[in-house]
Structure 1
Amino acid sequence: MSEPDSEAPFCLPRMPLTRLPKKPLPLGTIDTHFHVFRSDAPLNTPCSYTPQIATTADWIAFANRLGIGRGILVQPSVYGLDNQVLVEALAAFPDRLRGIVVIDPETDPTEIARLDRLGVRGVRINTRNKGGLPLTAAETLAANIRDFGWSLQLQISPDQIDGLAGRLPHLGVRFVLDHLGFIPLADGAWRQHLPALQRLADNPSGYVKLTAPYRLTREHGYAGFAEVVQALAASHPEKLLWGSDWPHTELWSDMPDDADLIDGMQEAIGAPTLARKIFIENAETLFFGR
């Protein structure tokens, strides 16, 4: 790995998986959001954090232990437009992995076709981190990826959700909101943001990731997260995706326990039919149709 940016602090190392969840994940679970990092891969300048190394092999071991069948590898902001680590992972596990890249909006269709053959199924827009693509790239990207059936993956701020609910449906591609749009959970603040999430999911092309509650609140037990999950599962069960967010980058304290996170998610979802949709079926439709 290249020398870290002096303003990009090292993330905490992930916690080892010391126990399994109380209830096994549904057979065939798909992890729709994780990252990997290789020690010799150069970091983008600038970047928002310096990652701890967590390789594809590390995720495979993590997934095997938990019974996760397949995964969607998401390009982290610290690698900018250099998707080499992701591409190598897809090539190593073509039946098990699909990928979400970060590319120049003007990327040639022949390069998009090459990435598509390797298992890439979307492009990430990220307005929250250095090295991410801006929302202004959405129209150009959508036009270039539409024929490939790719989606736009969006890491944005809560105040951008409402505008997207009206803007994105006209782009003609599916779109996926990372980490519940970073809506704040503390003191019931999620209640004022829930309608915007539901409006976004009302669109046939809109999906929401139920991921990373530790990014939405500092409260112990992630108060409010279960309520948001339950409300969305009641209104839009076919539009929800689960992801581990492994290895939990950009944390400087309170590294979560993965088994605790899965326990909390399964308790919030409850019904096995809902669990199959959220842990398997919705992701299978979105990412593994071919």
Structure 2
Amino acid sequence: MSQSEAPLCLPPKPLGALPRLPDGACDSHFHVFEAGAPLASPRSYTPQILTIADWQLYAEAAGIARGVLVQPSVYGLDNSVMLRAIASDPQRLRGIAVVAPDISAEALRELDAAGVRGIRINTRNKAGVALDAVGELLGKVAALGWSVQFQVRAEQLADVAALEHGETPLVLDHLGFIRFGEADTGTRLDALRHLLDRPNIYTKISAPYRLTASADYTDVGAAITALAASHPHRLLWGSDWPHTELWDKMPEDGDLLSAYETWLPDAQVRRQIFVDTPTSLFFGR
């Protein structure tokens, strides 16, 4: 598949001085890649090869203690790059895998032993697992205490709301991909708030650059501040490093981290979002 069909992402900007996150902070959403690993075809993008060693440099600069790798769509159902990354630092890392609906219980147990703590449903990218697979997968992952993570379009929040998930944690990537500054933004935010009212539903307050045309993400930041006031126990932070699917503008990591300091001024709330909630969800064992 040519890069014109699946364009090459921009690389992240060189690391400068970064604000330090709360002690014990967890990056709940990042991706890594590996030279020579087969890429899915078709796919939505071609990644820069940024490895777990590259993320570790970012983590060291920001004071990140732990991380949760999320299987990127470009590897389809082949979780091996992610699993090798976890194996390089198994005390510090966990993973969110992409699996087929008919995966066996034995295969899931093997992933669990390797540090996987959830599965990903992705309706926004080619090579992702569709929403209609959830019904078959929920019972399988519930037995392991895993979460189900959703990269869905904002109009699919109602579909997530309709799921019968018992006590299985459901996690929405990137504020449910609500587009800020559009006519339906308020309605979508209300739908997200209603979801967060339920036990065991969470959202990542990550990737503001994907959600708005505002250069400084002011509208996204205002929503994050409001959600932190109403639902602090339902929020997770993730870097979305290395910021895939960007082709014309790349954010500065320092600017992003500084923005969260502004949006989340309360130290106790910041600790809940950056440390306590991800520790509970992903590092209980």
Q: What residue in structure 2 maps to residue 12 of structure 1?
A: 10
1:142 alignment counterpart? 138
Per the TM alignment, residue 203 of structure 1 is displaced from its structure 2 partner at its CA by 1.2
Paired position in structure 2 for 1:70: 66
> Contact conserved, 1:186 with 1:223, CA < 8 A, in 2?
no
Aligned to 2:221: 226
Out of 195, 198, 220, the residue aligned to residue 203 of structure 1 is 198
The 8 Å contact of residues 24 and 64 in structure 2, kept in 1 or not, is answered as: yes
Alignment of 1:181-192 (within 5 A): 181-186=176-181, 190-192=185-187
Question: Which of the residues 38, 44, 54 maps onto 2:40?
Answer: 44
- 1:21-60, aligned counterparts within 5 Å? 21=19, 24-60=20-56
Task: Note the C-alpha offset of 1:192.
Answer: 2.4
Q: 2:45 touches 2:245 (CA, 8 Å); kept in 1? A: yes
- 2:28, 2:83 → 1: CA distance? 16
Within 5 Å, which residues of 2 pair with 1:1-290?
4-21=2-19, 24-165=20-161, 167-186=162-181, 190-290=185-285
User: Structure 1: which amino acid aligns with 2:171?
Assistant: V
Displacement of 1:172 in angstroms is 4.1
Tell me by how many angstroms 1:163 deviates: 3.0
Contact 2:18 2:257 in 1 (8 A): no
Whole-Å separation in 2 of the counterparts to 1:18 and 1:42: 32
Contact 2:17 2:61 in 1 (8 A): no
User: Secondary structure of 1:224's partner?
Assistant: helix
Q: TM-score, normalised by structure 1?
A: 0.95
User: Given that residues 142 and 171 in structure 1 are in contact (C-alpha distance below 8 angstroms), is that contact kept between their aligned partners in structure 2?
Assistant: no
3-state SS of 1:276 partner: helix
Are residues 27 and 188 of structure 1, via their aligned partners in 2, closer, same or farther at CA, if it must alter by over 3 Å?
farther
CA distance in 1, matches of 2:269, 2:17: 25
3-state SS, counterpart of residue 100 of structure 1: strand
Q: Say whether the 8 Å CA contact 1:98–1:120 is kept in structure 2.
A: yes
CA offset at residue 143 of structure 1? 1.3
Do 1:188 and 1:224's aligned partners in 2 also have CA atoms closer than 8 Å?
A: no
- Partner AA of 1:13 in structure 2: P
Deviations 1:189-230 (A, max 9, x none): 532221111111111110000000010012210121111111
RMSD: 1.3
Distance 1:229 1:47 in 2: 31
Amino-acid identity (%):
50
Give CA-to-partner distance per residue, 1:130-173, whole Å, 9 cap, x none: 000000001111011110001100000010112322x2344541
> Does the 8 Å CA contact 2:95/2:115 hold for their aligned counterparts?
yes
Alignment deviations for residues 15-38 of structure 1 (CA, whole Å, 9 cap, x no partner) = 1112222xx210111000000011
Displacement of 1:71 in angstroms is: 0.2
Deviation at 1:246, TM superposition (A): 0.1
Structure 1 position 186, deviation (Å)? 2.0
Q: Which runs of 5+ in 2 are unaligned?
A: none
